[in-house]
C-alpha cells in the first residue's frame, strides 16, 4: 500500500487546498478505512473553512459525512471486519498530527474508525489524553450493498432523525420548520412521517420553498407574519424547528409559535442567536441534544432501500475528488442542497 494520501484542508481562513498526509496508522482498537465518498455539511464545513469552527487554528482537515471500506483492523477490534462499510472515519486520528488539525477529516483518501466498546472494556473511559476516542461513537457499520448515493446520506439523515426523536411525539401537532437546506427538508419529511397534523416551512428563496413542498410541507412562507396568519385559528405552531443557522432568525420574535410551544434549535449558527424574548410567546421550551444514532441507522437504511426518501431531490450535485475545491465553491454560493464528493470505489 502507498504511504501517503491526499486530503483537503483549510490552510488559512477561506482557503481550501489539497494537501499530502501520511496514511494514518491504526492501533489495536482501530480500523483503517479507504474512503468511498464524503458529503458536504453545508453549514459546518463552510464554518470550518471560513471561520475556524471546531479547530483552534489552521490548517485543518474537514469533512465528517464520509463513508468507506475497512481495509485493515487492529487485533482487539470486534465491531468491524475487512470489507465492512463504515461511516465517519477521521483522517487525523488524535486531533492534531503536529501540522494539521482535525475537524474530523472526511475529505481524505483514508481515515480511521474505532471500536469504542472494545476500548472501554479494557480501559474504562475516554478522559484525559484519550478523549479523542470519543469520536469512535460516530463510527457505525452500514449496509455494504446500499447504493452509493444512498449510502452517502445515511449519517446526515440519522442525525436529523435523532433530533426529531428528541423533539418528542408529533402526532396531531402543528410544526413549523425554519430553513430550506438539507436539514430543513429532512425535518419536514420526518415531521410528516411522525404524524404531524400540519407542517409548514419558512425560508428566503422561493425555489427552495417549492422543494420543501415536494418533501411534504403543507404550506410555505417567506414572511413570518403570513405563517402566523396561517396558524391563526389554532393559536400557532406547537413546535418550531430551527434549521437555518441564521443568527437573526428570532430577532423579531416568533409570531407563528403558540404560547407554551417548543422551540428546537438544531442548526449551528455562525454567531449567537439574537433572541427577542419580549416578542416571543410565553412559557416556551427549547432543547435538542446529540443522541445515539446506532438505533436509528437501520431504520434510515430501510427508508432508503424502499425509496421512501426522495434522494434525487436532495442529492443535487456530485463531483470527483479532484474537484473538491469547485464543489466547495458551489456550496458557498448556495447552489447545493446536498453534494457528494466521490473519493474512491
The 10s digit of each residue's pLDDT in 123-141 is: 999 999 899 999 999 999 9
d(CA 17, CA 215): 35
Query: For the chain, which domains are there?
Result: 4-153+310-342 (3.90.180.10), 156-286 (3.40.50.720)
pLDDT at 145 over 90: yes
How many other C-beta atoms are found inside a 10 Å radius of the C-beta of residue 137?
A: 16
Classify residue 77 as exposed, middle or buried by CB count within 10 Å of its CB (0-12, 13-18, 19+): buried
Q: Contact, 88 vs 107, CB < 8 A?
A: no
pLDDT at 288 over 70: no
Confidence of residue 158 (pLDDT cuts 50, 70, 90): very high
Give the closest residue to 51 by CA, choosing from 105, 103, 104. 103
Residue 290 confidence (pLDDT): 63
pLDDT tens, residue by residue, 319-332? 999 999 999 999 99
User: How many helical (H) and strand (E) elements, i.e. helices and strands, does the chain have?
Assistant: 10, 17
Residue 122, C-alpha cell as written in the block: 479494557
Question: Which pTM was predicted?
Answer: 0.95
pLDDT tens, residue by residue, 14-34? 999 999 999 999 999 999 999
Sorted by sequence, the CB contacts under 8 Å of residue 227 that are 6+ apart come out as: 176, 200, 202, 219, 221, 237, 255, 256
| Phi, psi angle pair for 264, to nearest 5° | -120, 110
Q: Contact, 243 vs 266, CB < 8 A?
A: yes
- Of 67-76, 234-243, 267-276, 287-296, least confident by mean pLDDT is 287-296
Amino acid at each position: 500500500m502507498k504511504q501517503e494520501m491526499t486530503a483537503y484542508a483549510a490552510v488559512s481562513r477561506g482557503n481550501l487546498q489539497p494537501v499530502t498526509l501520511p496514511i494514518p496508522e491504526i492501533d489495536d482498537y482501530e480500523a483503517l478505512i479507504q474512503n468511498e465518498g464524503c458529503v458536504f455539511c453545508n453549514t459546518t464545513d463552510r464554518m470550518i473553512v471560513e471561520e475556524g469552527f471546531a479547530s483552534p487554528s489552521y490548517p485543518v482537515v474537514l469533512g465528517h459525512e464520509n463513508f468507506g471500506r475497512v481495509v485493515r483492523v487492529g487485533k482487539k477490534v470486534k465491531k468491524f471486519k475487512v470489507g465492512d462499510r463504515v461511516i465517519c472515519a477521521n483522517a487525523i486520528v488524535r486531533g492534531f498530527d503536529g501540522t494539521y488539525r482535525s475537524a474530523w477529516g472526511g475529505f481524505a483518501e483514508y481515515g480511521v474508525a474505532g471500536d469504542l466498546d472494545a476500548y472501554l472494556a479494557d480501559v474504562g473511559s475516554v478522559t484525559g489524553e484519550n478523549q479523542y476516542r470519543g469520536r469512535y461513537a460516530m463510527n457505525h457499520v452500514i449496509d455494504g450493498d446500499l447504493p452509493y448515493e444512498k449510502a452517502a446520506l445515511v449519517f446526515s439523515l440519522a442525525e436529523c432523525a435523532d433530533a426529531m426523536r428528541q423533539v418528542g411525539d408529533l402526532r396531531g401537532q402543528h410544526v413549523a420548520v425554519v430553513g430550506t437546506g438539507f436539514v430543513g427538508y429532512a425535518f419536514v419529511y420526518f415531521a410528516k412521517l411522525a404524524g404531524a397534523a400540519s407542517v409548514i416551512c419558512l425560508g428566503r428563496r422561493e425555489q427552495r420553498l417549492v422543494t420543501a413542498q415536494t418533501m411534504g410541507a403543507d404550506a410555505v412562507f417567506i414572511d413570518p407574519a403570513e405563517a402566523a396568519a396561517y396558524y391563526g385559528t389554532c393559536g400557532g405552531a406547537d413546535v418550531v424547528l430551527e434549521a437555518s443557522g441564521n443568527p437573526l432568525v428570532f430577532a423579531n420574535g416568533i409570531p407563528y409559535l403558540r404560547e407554551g410551544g417548543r422551540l428546537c434549535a438544531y442548526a449551528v449558527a455562525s454567531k449567537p442567536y439574537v433572541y427577542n424574548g419580549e416578542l416571543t410567546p410565553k412559557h416556551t421550551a427549547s432543547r435538542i441534544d446529540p443522541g445515539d444514532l446506532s438505533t436509528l441507522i437501520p431504520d434510515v437504511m430501510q427508508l432508503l432501500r424502499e425509496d421512501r426518501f426522495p434522494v434525487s431531490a436532495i442529492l443535487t450535485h456530485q463531483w470527483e475528488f479532484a474537484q473538491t475545491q469547485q464543489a466547495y465553491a458551489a456550496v458557498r454560493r448556495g447552489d447545493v442542497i446536498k453534494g457528494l464528493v466521490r473519493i474512491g470505489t
